[in-house]
Amino acid sequence: MLDILRPKISAIITTNKGANAKLQDICNLLKTTIDHYDWVGFYFKNGDRRELKLGPYAGEPTDHALIPFGKGICGQVAESNKNFVVPDVQAQDNYIACSITVKAEIVVPLFVNGENIGQIDIDSNTPDPFTEADERFLEFVNSEVAKIL
């Protein structure tokens, strides 16, 4: 399934739409196509502040429009520059609950010219659904997104 989506992601990147519209299209595609992707969104570094700001997303609205570096899974990835796969969010001490239905989360940093400028964040209502294939796919998504930022 993930390999089938790669050309669709590349096609979205090459449309004549603006960057935010392309990001929204990617979020919508991933959420509607992959069963265990229940919330898909992008967070970006908020100027010179040590916080992330919510960008385009698909799924239930979230109160977490701003996340300080170091807080929650997203905030930890902002500091570590490494993928973070959480098979069971309840087992994490430093987790920001977005919804009681979320069971697992994966966050993959987004680099432009070697700098971590944001991330893609996926929440799942399925326990432990994310594999190495999800990580590689989301790294690909971010490499495509980096071309338009």
The whole-angstrom separation of Cα 42 and Cα 50 is: 16
What pLDDT sits at residue 124? Answer: 97
Note the pTM of the prediction, 2 decimals. 0.97
Give the residue carrying structure tokens 């993959």.
Answer: 108
Percent of the chain with pLDDT over 70: 100
Q: Is the pLDDT of residue 97 over 90?
A: no
What pLDDT sits at residue 149? Answer: 95
Task: Provide the CATH number for the domain around residue 82.
Answer: 3.30.450.40
What confidence tier does 99 reach under pLDDT thresholds 50, 70, 90? Answer: confident
Side-chain-facing half-sphere of 7: CA atoms under 13 Å: 1
What pLDDT sits at residue 82? Answer: 98
**Structural domain that includes position 80:** 2-146
As a residue count, the chain comes to 149
- Largest Cα span, the chain: 43
- Report the domain count for the chain: 1
Span 115-142, pLDDT tens digits: 999 999 999 999 999 999 999 999 999 9
Q: Is the pLDDT of residue 2 over 80?
A: yes
Span 22-74, pLDDT tens digits: 999 999 999 999 999 999 999 999 999 999 999 999 999 999 999 999 999 99
What b/e sequence results for 29-42 when a residue is b if at least 16 CB atoms lie within 10 Å of its CB, and e otherwise?
bbbeebebbbbbbb
